[in-house]
Structure formats: structure tokens, C-alpha cells
Structure 1
Amino acid sequence: MIQWRRGVVVEVRSRWAGAVEYAVRLPSGDVVRALGYVEVVGDLGPGTAVLLNTTALERGLGTGGLAIVVAAPDALPHPVEDVTAVRGHLVKARYTPSQTMVLGVDEQDSEHHEVLAGADDLAGLPVVVADLHSALPAVLAGLREAAPSLRVAYVMTDGGALPLDFSRTVAGLRDAGWLDASITVGQAFGGDLEAVNVHTGLLAARHVVRADVVVVSQGPGNLGTGTRWGFSGTSAGEAVNAAGTLGGRPVCSLRISEADPRERHLGVSHHSLTAYGRVSLVPADVPVPLLPGGLGARVLEQARAMGAASGGRLSVHEVETDGLEAALRSSPVTLSTMGRGYDDDRAGFLGAAVAGRYAARLARVI
């Protein structure tokens, strides 16, 4: 179900990329946080009446736990125009009230269609695949520490947030020059380039963006149910398959934690063990951080067991972490995973950073 509320914008609290956070007063007098996308509802000022979707807010969800501005009925953002004159026919968020039409990099109206029409090879392009969106800045920290001049593209899948503008992380990384291009695939939208699926997103990264390395993850807002298979991160294994099928070099970024209160996520998360160990079916590299103490032994044992069970399909590589703490602390965006910062769960960020370091080494070889 959807919980609807009416309200009035009180103030603009913050803005990034194409997103704006508003303070909105409800008829009850309560003031709530509400997120509006400029491309969807326009840039609103105080006093504007808005219609809100407050479902996630009232359920107290984490990443998505705020109201969403659905419309400003008295302040429509665009003049009436002939939609048939708009280039592109890729529909994202299909068959929902918020569906939007974009120009896909791979469709016929795109200037890149001819390049992608016959594209079929990533030519060994390193593709770092991660479960959580929060791994992105840590992967980039590892990449930049090893090879700061590499050109990097980010492919965002639709397992979490659909609008890329929801991500403050991507906005901050772009502003800092850590990320060269973004590509949204599947039902996700708002990237520098739009693509039908992960396959064409990867091919666009190689043949249009000319990236040296690609990072693939879902958007913010990972979904899990506490069951063996019920989590959105299974898409990480599918991304590994896409990269390998197209002749890329998949690099599996392990989801690791030393502080998660749930046993299934301590050490190497069961999400990584399932996505890489059982969903992925092609050869891939698995960088493992050399961590101290019992945690390090546990992580290495789990990774080696996964590699052994794969029959040689997964190649486990032990990667030193020297120098990565400084690289991670230099991140232009806040490092946070499942509500924990770097000092709360260092292993989680080091696990992603070694994947970036390893991919940088591959990129310098090809």
C-alpha cells in the first residue's frame, strides 16, 4: 500500500545533484523530511503545496525512511510539450505512476548506437562488483591509491534506489573528480548514460566512456530478509556473469564486517558467499584483505573455502592493506555502511579497498 499525505514546503534543507531535501509541514503541524527530484517535480520553494508518499517514513525504514515528494499540483515543473518529439523511448520505473522516459545509450536514437550495435567484448576490462552501494567510495580509494589517473565508470543496478540522484555518495565522488561517469541500468535511471541492462551498461563503459575500470553495485537501500536467498545483493553474482561473458575481468569485492551484530554477516557475509560462490558461474578474482588476528584468519578461511568449493572458478588473492587506511580517510564522502563509519567497522571498508587496489593492478597490465 501507499500512504499519502498533503503538506506545505517550509524550507529547503539541502541539495545535491538533482535532489533536494525539504522540510514539509503536514496538516497535523508535524514537520517531516521530504525528498524531491528536480527532474520529476521541479525546484520548489517555501509555501508550495505538495503531495507526499510517506510510506517508508511512517514505517521507520533506514536508507529510504523519509517522505517523497510525488507532485506539486499547483507548480508543475514543465510546460506542456509534445512527448513524441523527445528523443529516446527507454521507459524506467515502468508501469508505475512515476515512470519516466529517457534516451538509452544503446537505442536507435542515440549517437552511440552504431558503436554499441555490434559491441561484444570488454577486452579484459577490470570490473569490480560489490554488494552494497557503500562499498563504492572504498573501492575508489583503493583504486586511486594504486593508480590515481585511471578513468573509472560506475554502473548502478536497480537492486536498491532507482534514481541515481538519491545517492549523495555519487554526487560527492563526481564533484571531487574521483568518478568519471555513471551509467544506470535496468529500472535505475539518472546516470550520465542510461542502458537497458548490465551488459550494455558495461559495454558503454568500455566503448563510450573509455573507462579503465568499472565498478558495479546496486544503488543505496539494499534489501534483505534474513533468508538464504532473499536479498537484493544476489545481483552481484549476476553482474559477475555479465562481465565474464563479455570478456571482462570480474573482481569480486567481498562484503566483510567485524562489527555487524548478525552472525551471518560477520567475517565474510553470507551475501558474498552466496552471490559469488553460487550465483556467479564464470571465472573471477576474489581479493581478500590481510587483516590481523582472529578476524583475518576467519575471513581468509571463508574465502579459501568458497574458492575451493567453486572448483577453481574463483581465484582467491591475498592483498596487503598497508597504506589503505590513509587512502580511505582521504575519501571526499563520508564512509558509512549499515550505519557504521570507518572507525566502527574498518574491515568492511578494507575489504572493498583491496578490490580496488587489485583491479588497479589489472588495469595497468591490460
Structure 2
Amino acid sequence: MIRWRQGVVRATGPGWPGVLLLDVDTSDGESLRALAYPDVVGTPRTGDRVLLNTTALDRSLGTGGLALVVAVPDRPDAWPAREAEEPGHLVKARYTPLQTMVLGVDDPEGAHHGRLADADDLGGMPVVAADLHSALPAVLAGVRLEDEGLRVVYVMTDGGALPAAYSRTVAVLRERGWLEAVVTAGQAYGGDLEAVTVHSALLAAHHVVGADLVVVTQGPGNLGTGTRWGFSGVSAGEALNAAAVLGGRPVASLRVSQADPRPRHRGLSHHSATAYGRVLAHPAEVPLPHGTTGHAATDGCLADVRAAVGELVHAAPHLRPVDVAVEGVVEALHGSPVPLATMGRGLEEDTASFVAAAVAGRRAAVLGSA
């Protein structure tokens, strides 16, 4: 259940778009670093009393070591402005204490309803799906290695963080021009466009933004229980099903690792084998790194991945492996405007993870440029 605490803001620090960071002295004598979403709870300032949710923090789970501000109860002028005639009726984070109302991209009150009312086709637009949010900048590095001029949209699903603002990665990628737009789907919110489903998010990316390709993955953080089916990354297979049904070009970005201490994620992760081998029910390309990176451990891991995918294809003939050259990929990854990290491991520690994601982006860029 929820763990509540309260405290007083001692100082405010630099955040990033949509996020404010605070130092809070709690009523039980502890000092905590806290995060506030001004668009949701308002803008706290020094001296304000704040109500905090420390549920995940107290269990050392994935909030990045931060408490979350739930309310600034004593100062109504800090709360987000309320527009009486503000359009939109999509409720996200529904029936939770912090449910929020947004204007859906295909909402009848919005400007794009007519364009999307009968939209049903992506016109062959490539759609890359990945398991982890950490794959996003690596996929984009691969895209840009092939073609820097492509318009790329990120569709954020709700398997991890729900507020798009939580992702510092997305904030920097937008600032540097690596992303044209963000569409938040399902219960996720805070993107440039809001969608009810991944299907409508993909259609919005194509018909409203004019994307050349789309990358779909959950927000920062993910949920897994160490069981065959109990992980939020199954949504990668579901996203590619949506792309196929709508006439897109599904591209499966593999989750791999040369350094994960857990056997189920070493080499080809069981997440990818399950999401693409069993959840995905339509034909899809599986880009495989081809060539040598010059790093023995990385190349050995990728050779094992190629063999594992070969076995997977026998049981899942809808998958089509495609060789993608690794020439220049590691250099492109070093040019990422955000630090590359997956499960606490950086590019030097787990090069294979990012190379596998980058070749998926490179292949999608070829398809998007055709």
C-alpha cells in the first residue's frame, strides 16, 4: 500500500522540462530528495509543506532514489491553473488519486479528430519496438547513422513510468532534435500528443506528425518478476502486432546483454524470445548485427545471439532475421547526446546491448528512407 510522509521544502534545485527537484526535510527528521511534476501537483517553493509518496523509495525500487510530491496542500496558488473551458475528456492514471485529464489526439473536441476518425493505415511506415526505455537513444543513434533527416516519433507505453516528463533522456533527445514528437499511449501521459491505445498513437504519429518511423517502448523503469510471462516488456510484441495490423513495417529490437549477471538475460534475453516468439503473431524483421565491432566480448555475445535467434526462428517462422552492418555503430553510440545506460551498465560495460538496439534503428532507417 502507499507509504505517506510529509515535510517542508528546504531548497529547490534544477530539474528538466516538466520536472522540479526538491530537498525536503521530513517531519520525522530525515532529509530526502523529492520530485514534483508542476503540471500535475503544482510548483512547490522553499518553505512549503509537501505531502510525499515514498512507497518505492522506502523499498529501494525504481524511483531513482526520489520521493514523489503528491500535493502542496497549504498554498492553493501553487496548484496548476484550472481552465473552465479546457477541452479534452481523456482521463489517464484513471481512478488513482492523481488521475489527470488530457486532450486526446483523436478527441472530438480536438483539431485532429476528423483526420483520425477513419484512419486505418500506416502506409508501410517502419515501427521499431524495444523492451527497455534505455534502448531508445541507441535505436535513434542507429537511425541517424543511416539518415539524419528522418522524422522520428517516440510512442511511450505505460509499462514503466506514466509521466513522459520523468524521462530526462526524452527531454534531451527532444532538445537536440533527435525526436520530432512524443506520443503517450494507454495510461501514460504528458506527450506532445495523447493517445488511448498504441494503435491510435501509431496512427497519430503517421497522420498528424508525418513520421518517417516510430520507436515504441515503455517509459523509464519496467516491471518483472523473474517468471516466463510476468514482465511488462511483453508489450513489445503487442506493439508490433499493432504495427502489422495497421499496415506498418514491424522491426523487432532485441534485448541482449554481455554483462547481465542473470542467466535469463545473458545473450538473447528471454524477454525478447517471449515477446517476439510468442506474443508477436505477425511477420516482422529481426535485425541482427553483422560484422565485427573489434571488441571480443561483444562480438562473442552477438555471435551467441545470432545462434539463439536462428533457433527461435524455427519455432517462430513469422520472424525474418536481417543482417545489418555494425560498421560505424559503436562510434555512433558514443555520439549519443545522453549517457547510455541499461540496468546500471554503461556502453563500455554492455556494448552488445546498445549495438543490438542501434542496428534495429539502422534497419528501420533504411525502410523509412525507401
TM-score range for the pair, normalised by the shorter chain length = over 0.9
Cα displacement string for residues 335-362 of structure 1 (whole angstroms, at most 9, x for unaligned residues): 1100111011000000100000000000
Q: In the TM superposition, what is the alpha-carbon distance from 1:297 to its structure 2 partner? A: 2.1
User: 1: CA distance between counterparts of 2:329 and 2:60?
Assistant: 35
Is the CA contact (8 Å cut-off) linking 1:128 and 1:252 kept in structure 2? yes
Identity %: 61
1:197 aligns with 2:197: yes
User: 2: CA distance between counterparts of 1:330 and 1:13?
Assistant: 28
Q: In the TM superposition, what is the alpha-carbon distance from 1:80 to its structure 2 partner? A: 7.4
- Unaligned 5+ runs, structure 2: none
Cα gap change, 1:63 to 1:135, in 2 (>3 Å):
farther
Specify the SS of the correspondent of 1:15: strand
Is the CA contact (8 Å cut-off) linking 1:56 and 1:64 kept in structure 2? no
Cα gap change, 1:335 to 1:29, in 2 (>3 Å):
same
**2:344 corresponding residue in structure 1:** 339
User: 2: CA distance between counterparts of 1:20 and 1:182?
Assistant: 20
Is the CA contact (8 Å cut-off) linking 1:122 and 1:206 kept in structure 2? yes
Cα gap change, 1:81 to 1:361, in 2 (>3 Å):
closer
- Could you tell me which of 289, 312, 330 is aligned with 1:306? 312
User: 2: CA distance between counterparts of 1:81 and 1:181?
Assistant: 25
Q: Which stretch shifts more, 118-127 or 39-48?
A: 39-48
User: 2: CA distance between counterparts of 1:239 and 1:122?
Assistant: 13
User: 1: CA distance between counterparts of 2:94 and 2:245?
Assistant: 27
Q: In the TM superposition, what is the alpha-carbon distance from 1:43 to its structure 2 partner? A: 2.0
**2:358 corresponding residue in structure 1:** 353
If the length of structure 2 is used for normalisation, what is the TM-score? 0.96
Specify the SS of the correspondent of 1:73: coil
| Alignment of structure 1 residues 193-232 onto 2, 5 Å | 193-232=193-232
Q: In the TM superposition, what is the alpha-carbon distance from 1:228 to its structure 2 partner? A: 0.4
Aligned length: 363
Specify the SS of the correspondent of 2:44: coil
User: 2: CA distance between counterparts of 1:64 and 1:275?
Assistant: 27
Q: In the TM superposition, what is the alpha-carbon distance from 1:49 to its structure 2 partner? A: 0.7
Q: What letter is aligned with 1:345?
A: D
Cα displacement string for residues 84-108 of structure 1 (whole angstroms, at most 9, x for unaligned residues): x220100000001100000000110
Cα gap change, 1:138 to 1:79, in 2 (>3 Å):
closer
1:327 aligns with 2:336: no
Q: What letter is aligned with 1:57?
A: L
Is the CA contact (8 Å cut-off) linking 1:106 and 1:195 kept in structure 2? yes
Cα gap change, 1:202 to 1:79, in 2 (>3 Å):
closer
If the length of structure 1 is used for normalisation, what is the TM-score? 0.97
**2:302 corresponding residue in structure 1:** 296
User: 2: CA distance between counterparts of 1:346 and 1:319?
Assistant: 16
| Alignment of structure 1 residues 14-163 onto 2, 5 Å | 14-76=14-76, 77-78=78-79, 81=82, 83=84, 85-163=85-163
Q: CA RMSD in A?
A: 1.3
User: 2: CA distance between counterparts of 1:326 and 1:12?
Assistant: 37
1:264 aligns with 2:264: yes
Specify the SS of the correspondent of 1:123: coil
Cα gap change, 1:47 to 1:355, in 2 (>3 Å):
same
Cα gap change, 1:79 to 1:283, in 2 (>3 Å):
closer
